[in-house]
Amino acid sequence: MGIILFLVAILLSAISLPIGFSYFILKCITTFQFKKFGIRFNQYFLKVAVSIDQMGNVAMQELFNDWLIKNREYPFGNEDETISSVIGKNLKYGNLTSLGKALNAILNFLDPNHSLNSIEYLTELKKAE
């Protein structure tokens, strides 16, 4: 049953994501929320990005557990957590492999302290909902 649900989810995502994005843009335009548009636009895409990141955490869990961390004290694969958050927690515990440290360095180059900040960000995001 899992494979059937997976295939249905992929199909529905391919159809619904462009529709949802288009509707969001049209609603912002038609309700004349230009002052709030930038804030809403950023929040919308941030939430979508976090969702995709959480999916990546699940989809890539075996590869990431084998290649990015030394042991499975804090493994990848939790559907409610981002890749960055797991990297941050493993960084705190000194549990990243050389490849994990390299990925963390890339994330930090793009956004200073990204993986460590992502731990706190997810906690705050859940409190806000």
Please say if the pLDDT value at position 81 is more than 90.
yes
Nearest residue to 80 via CA among 60, 42, 120, 53: 53
pTM of the predicted protein model: 0.81
pLDDT digits (tens, 9 = 90+) for 83-118: 999 999 999 999 999 999 999 999 999 999 999 999
Sign for the pseudo-dihedral over CA of 54, 56, 58, 63: negative
Indicate the pLDDT class of residue 128, thresholds 50, 70 and 90. Answer: low
69 token code pair: 């961390």
Least Cα distance to 84 among 115, 107, 46, 111 occurs for: 115
The domain locations on the chain are 1-32, 40-128
pLDDT greater than 80 at residue 34:
no
Q: Is 10 a residue whose pLDDT tops 60?
A: yes
Taking the C-alpha atoms of residue 124 and residue 108, their distance in angstroms, rounded to an integer, is 20
